[in-house]
């Protein structure tokens, strides 16, 4: 399937778009689909339940916005697109035909690399045989399933409508449709979870044979049900020591099963390239961590082109109105001072095992052989060698390392 990205395989960055990262970072398109069947208790993404009537007009508007975005941000020499990621929300709530039209439309507007990774996020309960086949027909190469847990108690606490059985069936349908580049998202540190149930979830996930696994520490965001419960003192946020225990359990179990830990919260199957990255790493997400450019389409989507970040309005009606009036629905943006940009690059780059090449690190104002780095190496948080990269132990202390360097 998708080979590990390497500098040699990446398309050259066209002139006129000097990005902060080199061309090896790739260029992505992110499409946000903000519809969900239900609202989960931990999620603070831009999502709406209901709004069935808006789904098709929204799909049409995405393509209109893509035209505006290309005209505004990528002329005259649009870069070659190395990945598309349709996230949400629940993108599989869009009719498969609409999704196909959207991807076709993007292909018409922009040059997609022949091996472009095209990921769609899905929740298990929305994936049946016709949806799986529809995704495959639309040219999707990779599916990321929001499994979260295989434990009924934890799924209930997260207010997910699916069960372990439904995850297995979704995987079955996707495999049957020829989609084998699958990721499973898992969350740990949830209410109702203990060391045993977390291990069971990891084992159940591995049993489905995904080539990619994401395991996220539960993060309490203010604007969520969990956030409100914690603020009201009716729920205890997960303790750091518990999260560290779960994380270490995941490292041991997933590593033992042959998955490679390549980013703070991500594991993938090999083989492993010289960069340290496994072949089945998410190319789209690597673009983020390498501080590469990407278009952001849809309500609440973020975009990063030419060293400038901007983001869209979160409201779907406002989004539709702006796009129909021929305007990009911009809500805000920022262009960073060099120091802030360097710090951001460092923080992003250190999330993966690839880390930063010594030349890049120096360009960001960090001496990879300096005393701070030496102390962190001695403490076992930075990997030995000339590159600036975290060890597995270091990943759990990414914040400490980044703020020390």
Summarize as ranges the residues that interact with other proteins (CB under 8 A): 28, 30, 32, 45, 85, 216-219, 240-241, 243-244, 247, 264-265, 285, 288-289, 294, 296, 300-302, 304, 309, 311, 334, 340, 343-344, 347-348, 351, 379, 381, 395-400, 402-404
Considering the complex, state which of residue 194 and residue 221 has its C-beta at the smaller distance from other proteins: 221
Considering the complex, state which of residue 39 and residue 404 has its C-beta at the smaller distance from other proteins: 404
Considering the complex, state which of residue 52 and residue 241 has its C-beta at the smaller distance from other proteins: 241
Mapped onto helix, strand or coil, the DSSP state of residue 358 is helix
Closest by Cα among 256, 338, 249, 330 to 295? 330
At its nearest, how many Å lie between other proteins and the CB of residue 69? 14
CA–CA separation, 89 and 48 (whole Å): 8
Residues paired with residue 148 on neighbouring β-strands, in sequence order: 186
CA–CA separation, 153 and 151 (whole Å): 6
Considering the complex, state which of residue 169 and residue 309 has its C-beta at the smaller distance from other proteins: 309
The verdict on whether omega for the bond into residue 76 sits within 30 degrees of 0, i.e. cis, is: yes
Considering the complex, state which of residue 93 and residue 217 has its C-beta at the smaller distance from other proteins: 217
At its nearest, how many Å lie between other proteins and the CB of residue 249? 13
Mapped onto helix, strand or coil, the DSSP state of residue 59 is helix
At its nearest, how many Å lie between other proteins and the CB of residue 172? 28
At its nearest, how many Å lie between other proteins and the CB of residue 165? 27
Paired tokens of 196: 């045993």
Considering the complex, state which of residue 200 and residue 309 has its C-beta at the smaller distance from other proteins: 309
At its nearest, how many Å lie between other proteins and the CB of residue 169? 27
Considering the complex, state which of residue 162 and residue 351 has its C-beta at the smaller distance from other proteins: 351
Mapped onto helix, strand or coil, the DSSP state of residue 226 is helix
At its nearest, how many Å lie between other proteins and the CB of residue 235? 18
At its nearest, how many Å lie between other proteins and the CB of residue 168? 25
At its nearest, how many Å lie between other proteins and the CB of residue 15? 24
At its nearest, how many Å lie between other proteins and the CB of residue 147? 16
Considering the complex, state which of residue 177 and residue 390 has its C-beta at the smaller distance from other proteins: 390
Report CA torsion sign: 143, 144, 150, 156: negative
Considering the complex, state which of residue 58 and residue 288 has its C-beta at the smaller distance from other proteins: 288
Q: Whose structure tokens read 């998955």?
A: 259
């Amino acid at each position: 399937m998708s080979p590990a990205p390497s500098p040699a395989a990446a398309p050259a960055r066209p002139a006129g778009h000097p990005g902060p990262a080199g061309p090896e970072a790739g260029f992505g398109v992110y499409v946000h689909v903000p519809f969900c069947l239900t609202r989960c208790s931990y999620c603070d993404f831009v999502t709406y339940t209901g709004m069935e009537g808006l789904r098709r007009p929204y799909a049409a508007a995405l393509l209109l916005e893509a035209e505006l975005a290309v005209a505004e941000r990528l002329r005259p020499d649009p870069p070659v697109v190395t990945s598309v990621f349709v996230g949400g929300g629940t993108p599989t709530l869009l009719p498969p035909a609409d999704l196909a039209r959207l991807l076709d439309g993007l292909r018409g507007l922009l040059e997609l690399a022949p091996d472009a990774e095209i990921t769609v996020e899905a929740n298990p309960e929305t994936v049946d045989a016709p949806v799986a086949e529809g995704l495959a027909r639309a040219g999707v190469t990779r599916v990321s399933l929001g499994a979260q847990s295989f434990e009924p108690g934890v799924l209930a606490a997260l207010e997910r409508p699916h069960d372990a059985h439904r995850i297995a069936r979704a995987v079955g349908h996707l495999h049957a449709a020829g989609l084998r580049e699958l990721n499973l998202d898992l969350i740990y540190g949830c209410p109702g979870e203990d060391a045993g149930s977390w291990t069971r979830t990891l084992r159940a996930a591995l049993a489905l044979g995904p080539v990619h696994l994401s395991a996220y520490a539960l993060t309490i965001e203010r604007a969520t049900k969990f956030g409100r419960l914690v603020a009201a003192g009716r729920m205890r946020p997960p303790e750091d020591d518990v999260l560290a225990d779960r994380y270490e359990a995941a490292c041991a179990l997933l590593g033992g099963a042959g998955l490679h830990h390549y980013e703070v919260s991500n594991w993938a199957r090999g083989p492993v390239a010289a960069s340290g990255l496994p072949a089945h790493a998410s190319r789209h997400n690597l673009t983020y961590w390498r501080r590469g450019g990407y278009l952001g389409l849809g309500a609440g989507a973020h975009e990063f082109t030419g060293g400038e970040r901007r983001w869209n309005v979160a409201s779907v009606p406002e989004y539709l109105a702006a796009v129909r009036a021929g305007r990009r629905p911009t809500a805000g943006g920022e262009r960073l001072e060099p120091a802030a940009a360097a710090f951001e690059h460092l923080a992003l780059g250190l999330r993966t095992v690839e880390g930063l090449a010594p030349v890049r690190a120096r360009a960001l104002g960090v001496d990879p052989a300096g005393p701070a780095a030496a102390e962190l190496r001695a403490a076992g948080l930075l990997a030995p060698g000339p590159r600036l990269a975290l060890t597995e132990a270091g990943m759990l202390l990414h914040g400490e390392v980044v703020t020390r360097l």
